[in-house]
Amino acid sequence: MGKQRAKRYQTYTEAFRASAVERMKDCRNVGALADELGVHRRLLYNWREQALGEAAQPSQTSLERELRRQNGELKRLLAEKTLEADFFKGALQKIEARRQPNSAPGATPSTTKSGS
């Protein structure tokens, strides 16, 4: 079997990334630019998305992060309770559908009462 080489990840400075993203704006062939810079083409797109994301979204405070986490947790709990309510609603409908009409006086009901 052949030897496996360990992948080495190179880190790039923020200035290099910013320069690459800036050059990418006017570039017609991103693949050629990637070859020229010695990086993978997808990496250039990732850097561009990061730059756009940082510019569009201001940094969040710890309070905002906590509120977003709590909001997500509350949405999850609400979804669980909605599923439970739907389950019990369906079960109640099935029980009511099984009940026979009690038309004769003194007739025994089709289901027993709780505690009997």
Give tens-digit pLDDT for 3-54: 555 556 778 889 999 999 999 988 889 999 999 999 999 999 999 998 887 6
Are residues 36 and 12 in contact, defined by beta-carbon separation less than 8 angstroms?
no
Q: How far apart are CA 24 and CA 18, in angstroms?
A: 10
Average pLDDT, the chain: 83
Residue with the bigger pLDDT between 92 and 62: it is 92
Please indicate, yes or no, whether the overall pTM of this predicted structure exceeds 0.85.
no
